[in-house]
């Protein structure tokens, strides 16, 4: 790989994921030199490999979107989750700092326990209730310890054109069965990868570093989200609300993980569109893989 002489160079880890693919697509469309690295091209848990590759590319920015996201499986293999989300993030943060690159780290609403009924801002106390959330919070801490020009971006309920997600699952099940059962006692904010990626790219033009909550505005339960999906898709599907207890899973989920975008407002950065508007854009421009 030939190292460019000058100009903006953005390295995206996790480029095979739904956000990573969106970021690479939008960056390319803007004419920005981008290196999208998939899991097969960069093992973030290999410290030497991370340092070698980042030294070689010498990016001006690293967007660290690679993550272990198997929430339920993490309960039975915590070492794997922490090796990727904590140690892997440390490796990327140290290497990015060494070459003087800005760093973006994608985190999650699962750093909160969700026991309350009011939204969390960036200064709210964290208290993850599952291994996945604990490992992502550890990643946040490593970023803060080893880098000084970073954007930590917590987001939630992500969906988009690439990969598997809740919207695609609902559309598939609705078409196949005409009825779905969906949890009604978990509340959060759906986030569209196009809006999330666009916001990240806009933030990179600034020096307004820090911890941000970035999701589409408004909130809903998974049940309400499913209802809106079928309403906008003009599908006649029976949606039955069920409690979380009716669908037991290995990892506990926060019941109320709505995040307040306090830092976006404080830094005069634009808020994302409402989750309903985002869903409409997705369904109208749904070129999926």
Q: CB atoms < 10 A from the CB of 114, how many? A: 22
Catalytic residue check, 132: yes
**Which residue in 35, 105, 132, 192 is the catalytic one?**
132
Q: What are phi and psi of 267, to 5 degrees?
A: -100, 15
User: Is the separation of the CB atoms in 214 and 272 below 8 Å?
Assistant: yes
220 forms beta bridges with 188
Closest CA to 47 of 94, 98, 102: 94
Which residues are tagged catalytic? Answer: 132
């Amino acid at each position: 790989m030939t190292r460019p002489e000058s100009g903006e160079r953005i390295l995206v880890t996790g480029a095979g994921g739904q956000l990573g693919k969106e970021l690479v697509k939008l960056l390319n469309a803007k004419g920005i030199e981008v290196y999208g690295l998939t899991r097969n091209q960069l093992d973030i848990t290999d410290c030497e490999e991370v340092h070698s590759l980042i030294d070689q590319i010498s990016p001006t920015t690293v967007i660290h979107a690679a993550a272990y996201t198997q929430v339920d499986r993490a309960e039975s293999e915590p070492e794997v989750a922490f090796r990727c989300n904590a140690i892997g993030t440390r490796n990327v943060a140290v290497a990015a700092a060494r070459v003087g690159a800005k760093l973006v780290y994608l985190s999650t609403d699962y750093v909160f326990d969700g026991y309350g009924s009011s939204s969390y801002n960036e200064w709210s106390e964290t208290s993850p209730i599952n291994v996945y959330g604990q490992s992502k919070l550890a990643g946040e801490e490593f970023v803060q310890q080893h880098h000084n020009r970073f954007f930590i971006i917590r987001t939630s309920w992500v969906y988009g054109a690439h990969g598997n997600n809740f919207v695609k699952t609902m559309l598939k099940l609705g078409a196949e069965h005409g009825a779905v059962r969906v949890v009604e006692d978990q509340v959060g904010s759906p986030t569209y990868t196009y809006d999330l990626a666009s916001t990240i790219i806009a933030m990179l033009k600034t020096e307004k570093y820090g911890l941000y909550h970035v999701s589409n505005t408004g909130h809903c339960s998974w049940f309400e989200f499913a209802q809106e999906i079928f309403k906008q898709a003009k599908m006649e599907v029976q949606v039955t609300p069920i409690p979380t207890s009716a669908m037991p899973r290995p990892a506990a989920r926060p019941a109320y993980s709505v995040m307040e975008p306090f830092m976006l407002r404080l830094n005069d950065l634009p808020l994302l569109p409402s989750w309903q508007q985002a869903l409409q854009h997705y369904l109208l421009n749904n070129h999926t893989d």
